A and B are shown apart, each in its own frame.
Chain A
């Protein structure tokens, strides 16, 4: 009798728990969808506007590729694009080298490594505009460094480095240093151990550091505003054009759409590279 009662009670608890679980699942899915919608809705809307006849009204349709035609007929954006690509490439290379050098060391120096990581990452929490102002005060006004291409590269590098470092750390953290010992035992010197063993195994992280550096530099605006000197990057160009209330504005929609698609593609490649190693 009591056994049967206890059994029924247990069944009730189990049923209630599975109902809770279903509810939790449904809520997770709902919030996830909402988040994605909030994040990508505007981007998708922008893409929709870029193929609409009167984008400034904010309503889609009738659809046309006329803005893209005009965009390619008026190549004023080409110089800023090339400038941005150049800066992004240099920042990307700098990120790969420095993030590898720092990232391969941090996991193996104990508590010092944890503190250093904090120091490297804390710069992420300084607002970008503030950092731009800080830079111009310290480097331009105090140290007298001239602004321009190199100050942009420097600011972008400072912005991208923590992300690049995290990319390398994901891989470096699971690197088995005993492999270097067995390579040494087999006769490999310091450089060969790095080239043959460590670098190939860290490569997904190094590559993703490069991608992060490239993308973050390519789309950087707040720091660039202060440190541009006479240089115009693509985001600066877009920003200036978008806020100028000229007939150029609809062109910017198309340009932004293209940049977004390209960035998205690169990001996907970077993340795939980073987490591919974990499956093997």
Chain B
């Protein structure tokens, strides 16, 4: 086993090709493909109904795809293999702990059905409890545990079988803010130390950014963008990505001129200079979106500087909101309301100019799908 595994080290641990899932008339997944290298931590991100959980459940074998071209786990075709014979384990949002078994028996269950001897089961369950930092809970009943503890037990129960892939279906959704942050760190620590491939499903972009090196963003059953958090943040492929990733300022306009690397977009009568995302060469008259993160904006009381590459629109500061370690100020401008993020609470001018560098103003197509075809 070990020898064959090491031969396949560079082979992806998961290959999904062109999977489609319909629930009645609803298209939950539309020809989605995904390849995950061994040892990666991938996040499937998307709003509810985007198909992210369906994709996870297809990998687990808990959902049968309507169509699928290929599904390989560790190089093995598992399309016809039921969930109980796939070497993946899931941590459910509802935890799914068995209420009639002790914590220890819950953790041992995966080993019990694999017919491991009792002594080994107990030893590995204790190790798993150690791993999730609940070493003295072996004999507890499930209903005696807090939400965060149940979460950890569910994690230990899934990991104890040493799955090829650990699937996490919104595992932190039911926890409160503080606990969620702790568990995020805990999951990262575990993933690093075990080297197991983790696939996490979440609807929280904040969680996706914290947790993984690769985010697969889904919407309406399709993969919209697949890349590093920086990719999604700095080079959103579509207006949806920019909005979903929480980029504060997203504008729409039409391209008025594009000369070598400098694209000018007319937004409500103002000319805004920006940079097209890689692979996008806009043409004059095309409708595009512009995305500017709030921390890239400055407020200046003086007139707009003349030098090129700096955008400047007249603004009226409105509402300033204290966010703990920074301030968000809403600016009324002719292109709409912009949000500016500042670390210091400097005095706000009555009226002024919102300034931002054209390098920090990305331009993307409004209709990426029609453009590709």
Q: Bound pair: A and B? A: yes
- Report whether B99 and A185 are in contact in the complex, using a CB–CB cutoff of 8 Å: no
> How far, in angstroms, from A196 to B89 measured CA to CA in the complex?
18
Interface size on A, residues (CB 8 A): 18
- Report whether A189 and B92 are in contact in the complex, using a CB–CB cutoff of 8 Å: no
With A182-B90, A183-B109, A189-B84: A197-B60 Cβ-Cβ less than 8 Å:
no
Give the interface size bracket for B toward A. Answer: 20 to 34
Chain A residues near B60 (CB, 8 Å)?
185
Q: List 16 A-B contacts (CB under 8 A).
A: A176-B94, A178-B92, A178-B94, A179-B98, A181-B62, A182-B92, A182-B97, A183-B98, A185-B61, A185-B62, A185-B84, A185-B158, A186-B109, A186-B157, A187-B110, A196-B113
- Report whether A184 and B98 are in contact in the complex, using a CB–CB cutoff of 8 Å: no
A121 vs chain B, min Cβ distance (A):
29
- Report whether A187 and B94 are in contact in the complex, using a CB–CB cutoff of 8 Å: no
B143 vs chain A, min Cβ distance (A):
6
- Report whether B99 and A181 are in contact in the complex, using a CB–CB cutoff of 8 Å: no
- Report whether A185 and B89 are in contact in the complex, using a CB–CB cutoff of 8 Å: yes
> How far, in angstroms, from A263 to B96 measured CA to CA in the complex?
39
A201 within 8 A of B: yes
Closest 5 CB pairs of A and B: A182-B96, A186-B110, A187-B113, A188-B113, A185-B90
**Nearest residue, chain A, Cβ from B82:** A184
Chain B contact residues, CB within 8 Å of chain A: 60-62, 82-85, 88-90, 92, 94, 96-100, 109-110, 112-114, 143, 157-158, 161
- Report whether B100 and A201 are in contact in the complex, using a CB–CB cutoff of 8 Å: yes
- Report whether B99 and A187 are in contact in the complex, using a CB–CB cutoff of 8 Å: no
Report the number of A-B residue pairs with Cβ-Cβ less than 8 Å. 61
> How far, in angstroms, from A178 to B161 measured CA to CA in the complex?
20
A1 within 8 A of B: no
A4 within 8 A of B: no
- Report whether B113 and A178 are in contact in the complex, using a CB–CB cutoff of 8 Å: no
Chain B residues near A176 (CB, 8 Å)?
94
A109 within 8 A of B: no
A200 within 8 A of B: yes
Chain A contact residues, CB within 8 Å of chain B: 176, 178-179, 181-189, 192, 196-197, 200-201, 280
A238 vs chain B, min Cβ distance (A):
42
Chain A residues near B113 (CB, 8 Å)?
186-189, 192, 196
Chain B residues near A183 (CB, 8 Å)?
98, 109
Chain B residues near A196 (CB, 8 Å)?
98, 109, 112-113
Chain B residues near A192 (CB, 8 Å)?
113
- Report whether B84 and A188 are in contact in the complex, using a CB–CB cutoff of 8 Å: yes
A85 vs chain B, min Cβ distance (A):
31
A129 vs chain B, min Cβ distance (A):
43
- Report whether A181 and B114 are in contact in the complex, using a CB–CB cutoff of 8 Å: no
Q: Which of A179, A181, A185 has the most CB of B within 10 A?
A: A185
A264 vs chain B, min Cβ distance (A):
29
Chain A residues near B85 (CB, 8 Å)?
187
> How far, in angstroms, from A44 to B247 measured CA to CA in the complex?
79
Chain A residues near B96 (CB, 8 Å)?
178-179, 181-182, 185
- Report whether B143 and A185 are in contact in the complex, using a CB–CB cutoff of 8 Å: no
A148 vs chain B, min Cβ distance (A):
42
- Report whether A184 and B143 are in contact in the complex, using a CB–CB cutoff of 8 Å: no
> How far, in angstroms, from A192 to B115 measured CA to CA in the complex?
12
